[in-house]
Structure 1
Amino acid sequence: MAHRYEILQRECFFKGAIMSMERIRLRHALFAGGMTPELTRECLVRDLAVAVLPYDPERDEVVLVEQFRVGCIDDPRGAWLIETVAGIAEAGEEPRSVAYREAQEEAGLEISDLELIADYLPSPGGSTERVMIYCGRCDSSQAGGVHGLAGENEDILSHVLGADEAIEQALSGGMRSAMPIIALQWLALNRQRLRKEWTGGSWSESLWTEEDQ
């Protein structure tokens, strides 16, 4: 009986270009036993979102992007957000392929050595959206400028930040989007390991030599 549910009716009452809305009538099991009465829930239906934090272990820099977000038009802090590179997976597209594609489209970057940061549901109380965040190795020396697909009316400004500065912004409340906050907190915990693995150990060896002196 535990974790059982019954869908009584499911209807799509709105379908847009990138999301739809469903109204669902259901019942589900109670922890104390039995079932709930009939419930009605509205649910935002979205496809898989994939984000990537481009990180250059040689320069110890990350690349973040800035763009207009309609969900922030009433936010007193403004409608432009600093975010990770991100996009929606197309039908049948592998998450890693999305990360590679979006890094090129939104930041003009080639990335490699992808490592999964998180696979989570940002708002399961009313949305099916699933988010996967990766960290990807990049060369940030030529990063910057404006990118995006003209056919999708994208206007995306790329920013190169030192890892220390970016992590501090995430930890001090300077960022408002969940993806870069999660990604940069993960980087703070895994940065030394990544630099060792992605630079062949040369950075780690020089670091320990300095600390031991």
Structure 2
Amino acid sequence: MEAQEVAAAERRLSSRRIYEGHILNLRVDDVILEFGRTARREVVEHGAAVGILALTEKGGVLLVRQYRYAVDEETLEVCAGLVEKGEEPRDAAVREMQEELGFKPGKLTEIGRFYASPGFCTELLILYLAEGLTPSRLPQDDDENVSVVELPLKDIPGRLAEGTFRDSKTFAAMAWLMAREGLRPGV
């Protein structure tokens, strides 16, 4: 397969922030494209976040069930949260585990980094594998109400095929885990 040429970077001509919020900002940029054309880009500025694939000694994965207002549904997700200003992603992962799962990892391994939706959002997701869990609880955030669910590894392929995991970080984490464990998709 022949390597493809990478498109030239777009150069910003102007930028204006139209919204500043607690967890995100929205800006509109005018850019110049290759060959002199111009375009408008709407960019959601969002800080980094972590997702944690927490494995139990019983051969399961700890997930959180919670209602997500933006999509008006209850989701089943890997433990996750924002990296606070000045906080290292690894420390954020440990804190989120204690707040949402009530456990601390004995071993925490970074397994990947990816953008949530690079077409319009700056959010970088850092995914970790947590093993050797020991009980350790911090209070949940005031605006969260999560419950912990343990899902056996053998159930992951079927749940993935059924569409149980509807957020990108959990979908990516489960696909990674299936590849690692040699689990085959099935319906």
**TM-score bracket for this pair, using the shorter chain length:** 0.7 to 0.9
> For 1:109 and 1:160, how far apart are their aligned partners in 2?
13
Q: Secondary structure at the match of 1:96?
A: helix
Q: 2: distance between equivalents of 1:4 and 1:52?
A: 33
- Alignment partner, residue 101 of structure 2: 107
- 1:72-87 alignment, distance < 5 Å: 72-73=71-72, 79-87=73-81
| In the alignment, structure 1 residue 173 sits paired with structure 2 residue 163 | yes
Q: CA deviation at 1:116?
A: 2.2
Aligned to 2:11: 6
Shift of residue 60 of structure 1?
0.7
Superposed, 1:1-213 pairs within 5 Å as 3-29=8-34, 34-35=35-36, 37-56=37-56, 58-73=57-72, 79-139=73-133, 148-150=140-142, 153-191=143-181
List runs of 5+ in structure 1 lacking aligned partners: 74-78, 193-213
Q: CA separation in 1, counterparts of 2:147 and 2:121?
A: 29
Cα pair 1:89 1:98 within 8 Å, conserved: yes
User: CA contact under 8 A between 2:156 and 2:178: conserved in structure 1?
Assistant: no
What TM-score, normalized by structure 2, do the two folds share?
0.85
Q: Letter of the aligned partner of 2:21 in structure 1?
A: G
The code of the aligned residue for 2:71 comes to: C
The offset of 1:2, in angstroms, is: 5.5
Higher strand share: 2
Cα distance change, pair 139–90 in 1 and its aligned pair in 2 (3 A): closer
Q: Find the aligned partners of 1:109 and 1:166 in 2 and give their Cα distance.
A: 21
Which segment drifts farther, 13-22 or 158-167? 158-167
SS at match of 2:103: coil
Task: Give the secondary structure class of the aligned counterpart of 1:84.
Answer: strand
8 Å CA contact 2:50, 2:126 repeated in 1: yes
Question: Structure 1 residue 166: deviation in Å?
Answer: 3.1
Q: Distance in 1 between matches of 2:50 and 2:133?
A: 20
% identity of equivalent residues: 26
CA distance in 1, matches of 2:84, 2:76: 24
* 1:18, distance to aligned residue in structure 2 (A): 0.6
Q: Contact 1:68 / 1:80 at 8 angstroms: preserved in 2?
A: yes
Alpha-carbon distance in 2 for matches of 1:3, 1:112 = 44
Length, aligned pairs only? 175
CA RMSD of aligned residues (A): 2.1
Higher helix proportion: 1
Point out the structure with max Rg over C-alpha.
1
Aligned-partner Cα distance in 1 for 2:109–2:74: 28
Q: Normalising to structure 1: TM-score of the pair? A: 0.75
Whether the 8 Å contact between 2:81 and 2:92 is mirrored in structure 1 is yes
Q: Tell me the alpha carbon deviations over residues 140-159 of structure 1, each in whole angstroms, 9 at most, x when there is no partner.
A: 8x79xxx7223xx2111011
